[in-house]
Structure 1
Amino acid sequence: MDPLLLGALVALATILVLFSGVSVAIGLLIVSAGFLIVFDGVRSLELMPEILFGKLNNFALLSIPMFIIMGASIASTRAGADLYEALERWLTRVPGGLVVSNLGACALFAAMSGSSPATCAAIGKMGIPEMRKRGYPDGVAAGSIAAGGTLGILIPPSVTMIVYGIATETSIGRLFLAGVFPGLLLVGLFMAWSLYSTWRSGQAGVLGAGSYTWREKFEILPRVVPFLLIILGVLYAMYGGIATPSETAAVGALLCLVIAMVIYRLWDPRALWVVLRDSTRESVMILFIIAAAGVFSYMLSSLFITQSIAEWIGTLEVNRWILMGAINIFLLIAGFFLPPVAVILMAAPILLPIIETAGFDPIWFAVVLTINMEIGLISPPVGLNLYVINGIAPDISLKTILTGSLPFVACMVIAIILLCLFPGLATWLPDAVMGTGF
């Protein structure tokens, strides 16, 4: 059978299997095994266990559970509430400052926890009621938190970037650096829209509940600064050549646990068990998807699907930006239905040869891909962040939350366009810190 037609059959079968309700990892294994049996014979399955476990034989994978523990220990405390309160105290006299402080808290907490749902829950529980109480539109209140939560998969340290780096054999350190300026760009665009929307609704003069003394402003900082110092320390150790990403992640996880125990009195063994249990569950899920995606990639390569698609794309006389536009549409649609980790692991084996053939930088493409995945987090039918916000504020309809999130989707699209026009936004910092080699 023609490999391109076979590739279309694989895509259709994968969609049908995943929509059946089975987990992503099991679905990928079912599709891989089925096509290998039909086209390569039953004996081809002998290699599956070796490929499955061989994919996990990567030292860089140790950073995933460590960063997850790091985020879980933060999310299990009042760090989010303290971060929100600290920014609110410092920005309370700024017109529209409450929505800015919420977005700033989302960005910082997302960077610390690396989890979009955790960010929405931690910041939204305080931020949404407070914004509504002070007259901010429901759409701005809900949409800003939903969008702000997505920043966790872009701003380093990011588990999504680690997965992309492993899937494409790309430097994780360079990927982390590549997400810094685009992450700040998105924060700026989110803040700009929120302030404009607030001004348009006549709430530009909304101030905080009252003024705070300098003592009140500074007294909350000791509960927030240690976590920020850990993030900066992890990044410094990684880029200063002091330690590998896995080593820095392990130290960061330990320090976050210690600070959670010291500052927030997380002494109860049951609370610590919940942190470790949830971290283990999420880590195993991600690692299982990575292993299954390795088998899926082997199947695509064994049946010459990946090579044929790359060769076919190379023969097309199509402008490379039209090609990139088509890839973005594909990623958007995939992100509407699947979690970011699954999309990256499934799409990377096919897309990486294509973007390299077209002359695109894989580091730059990682940022574009991640922003597409962010859009999926606040877009139906899955739109995980939308449902988290609806759970926090059930009296705000899902339609209102979605409507409030759409302008932030537009901000993300603008960010992608700016990255296409100025790729240095993603590539300059990695090149400046780590050199121009890959």
Structure 2
Amino acid sequence: MDPLTLGGFVALATILVLFSGVSVAIGLLIVSAGFLIIFDGMRSLELMPEILFGKLDNFALLSIPMFIIMGSSIASTRAGADLYEALERWLTRVPGGLVISNLGACALFSAMSGSSPATCAAIGKMGIPEMRKRGYPDGIAAGSIAAGGTLGILIPPSVTMIVYGIATETSIGRLFLAGVIPGLLLVALFMGWSLYATWKSGNTAVLSARDYSWRERLEILPRVIPFILIIIGVLYAMYGGIATPSETAAVGALLCIVIAMVIYRLWSPKALWVVLRDSTRESVMILFIIAAAGVFSYMLSSLFITQSIAEWIGTLDANRWVIMFAINIFLLVAGFFLPPVAVILMAAPILLPIITTAGFDPIWFAVILTINMEIGLISPPVGLNLYVINGIAPDISLRTILTGSLPFVACMILAIILLCVFPGLATWLPDTVMGPAF
């Protein structure tokens, strides 16, 4: 059978299996095993255990559970509430300052925790009721938190970027740096829209805002600054050549646990057990998907599907931006139904040779891919962040939350367009700090 036709059957089978309700990892293993048995015989199954465990034999993978522990320890404390309150005290007299402080808190907390749902829950529990109390429209209040929560998979340190780096064998340090400016760009676009929407709604909440004294503004900072210093320290150690990403992640995780115990009195063995238990569950889930995706990639390569797709793309007489547009549509649709990690691990073996053949930078493409995944987090039918917001504010209808999120989706699409026009937004910082990639 022609490899391209076979690739179509693999794609159809994968979609059907994943829509059946099985987990992503199990689904990938089922599809891989099925096609290997059909076209290579039963002997091909002998290699599956070796490939499955061999994919996990990577020192860089140690950074994933460490960063997850780092985020879980932060998410289990009042760090999110304190971060929100600190920004609210400093921006309370700025028109639209409350929604800006919420977005700023989302950006910082998501960078510290790396979890979109945790960011939505931590900031939204305080931010949404406060915004509604001051007269902000429900759509702006809910949409800003839902969109702000997505920033965690782009702003470093990002587990999603680590997974992409492992899947494509690109530098994790470069990927982290590539996400900084686009992440700040998204924050600026979100804030700009929020200010405009607040002004357009005729909101006068600033007039009723409380005026905090300088003492009140300063007294909250000691509870927030240590976590921010840890993030800065982790990134400095990584880019200063002091330690590898895995080593810095381990130190960061330990320091976050210590600070959670010292500042937030997280002494209870039960509370610490919850942090470690939840971190272990999430880590195992991600690592299992990575291992299963390794088998899936082997199947695609063994049946010459990946190579044939790359060769076919190379023979197309099409503008490379038309190809990139088609890839973005594919990623957007995939992100509607699957979590970011699953999309990256499934699509990377196919997309990497396509984008390199078309002359695109894999580091730049990582940012484009991640923003597409961010859109999926606030878009139906899955749209995890939408349901998290609905859970913490059940009196706001899901339709209102979705409507409030759509302008932020437009901001993300605008960011993708700007990155296509000005690719240096993603590549300038890693090239400046780490030197040009060859």
Asked if TM exceeds 0.5, the reply is yes
Q: Is the 8 A contact 2:320 2:358 kept in 1?
A: yes
Question: Which residues of structure 2 form unaligned runs of 5+?
Answer: none
Cα deviation digits, residues 275-332 of structure 1 (max 9, x gap): 0000000000000000000000000000000000000011000000000000000000
Counterpart check, 1:50 vs 2:50: yes
Match of 1:89 in 2: 89
Q: 1:244 to 1:307 in 2, by over 3 A?
A: same
Tell me which amino acid in the other structure corresponds to 1:321.
Answer: W
Cα deviation digits, residues 72-127 of structure 1 (max 9, x gap): 00000000000000000000010110000000000000000000000000000000
Shift of 1:206: 2.8
Shift of 1:371: 0.0
Q: Is the 8 A contact 1:195 1:204 kept in 2?
A: no
Shift of 1:13: 0.2
Shift of 1:437: 2.0
Match of 1:10 in 2: 10
Counterpart check, 1:193 vs 2:193: yes
Q: Is the 8 A contact 1:97 1:207 kept in 2?
A: no
Superposition map of 1:96-175 within 5 A: 96-175=96-175
Separation of aligned partners in 2, 1:97 and 1:166 = 39
Cα deviation digits, residues 327-366 of structure 1 (max 9, x gap): 0000000000000000000000000000000000000000
Q: Is the 8 A contact 2:93 2:209 kept in 1?
A: no
Match of 1:38 in 2: 38
Instruction: Classify the secondary structure of the residue corresponding to 2:396.
Output: coil
Q: Runs of at least 4 residues of structure 1 off by over 6 A?
A: none
Match of 1:397 in 2: 397
Match of 1:302 in 2: 302
Separation of aligned partners in 2, 1:222 and 1:48 = 51
Tell me which amino acid in the other structure corresponds to 1:294.
Answer: G
Match of 1:264 in 2: 264
Shift of 1:394: 0.3
Counterpart check, 1:349 vs 2:349: yes
Match of 1:430 in 2: 430
Separation of aligned partners in 2, 1:210 and 1:12 = 57
Counterpart check, 1:202 vs 2:197: no
Q: Is the 8 A contact 2:134 2:205 kept in 1?
A: no
Shift of 1:205: 5.7
Separation of aligned partners in 1, 2:256 and 2:207 = 34
Alpha-carbon RMSD: 0.6
Cα deviation digits, residues 145-202 of structure 1 (max 9, x gap): 0000000000000000000000000000000000000000000000000000000000
Separation of aligned partners in 2, 1:194 and 1:147 = 11
Q: What is the aligned length?
A: 438
Q: Is the 8 A contact 2:112 2:231 kept in 1?
A: yes
Shift of 1:209: 2.9
Match of 1:409 in 2: 409
Separation of aligned partners in 2, 1:416 and 1:317 = 24
Q: Is the 8 A contact 1:73 1:275 kept in 2?
A: yes
Shift of 1:142: 0.1
Shift of 1:204: 5.3
Q: Is the 8 A contact 1:106 1:149 kept in 2?
A: yes
Q: Is the 8 A contact 2:92 2:206 kept in 1?
A: no
Q: Is the 8 A contact 1:96 1:207 kept in 2?
A: no
Match of 1:276 in 2: 276
Separation of aligned partners in 2, 1:351 and 1:209 = 50
Q: Is the 8 A contact 2:227 2:256 kept in 1?
A: yes
Instruction: Classify the secondary structure of the residue corresponding to 1:170.
Output: coil
Shift of 1:208: 5.9
Match of 2:69 in 1: 69
Counterpart check, 1:331 vs 2:331: yes
Instruction: Classify the secondary structure of the residue corresponding to 2:211.
Output: coil
Match of 1:242 in 2: 242
Separation of aligned partners in 2, 1:423 and 1:113 = 27
Match of 2:220 in 1: 220
Q: What is the TM-score when the length of structure 1 is the normalising length? A: 0.99
Shift of 1:207: 4.5
Instruction: Classify the secondary structure of the residue corresponding to 1:206.
Output: helix
Q: Is the 8 A contact 1:94 1:207 kept in 2?
A: no
Q: What is the TM-score when the length of structure 2 is the normalising length? A: 0.99
Of 411-420 and 205-214, deviating more is: 205-214
Separation of aligned partners in 1, 2:390 and 2:148 = 15
Shift of 1:48: 0.2
Identical aligned residues as a percent: 90
Separation of aligned partners in 1, 2:432 and 2:401 = 40
Match of 1:25 in 2: 25
Question: Which residues of structure 1 form unaligned runs of 5+?
Answer: none
Match of 1:340 in 2: 340
Separation of aligned partners in 2, 1:252 and 1:318 = 46
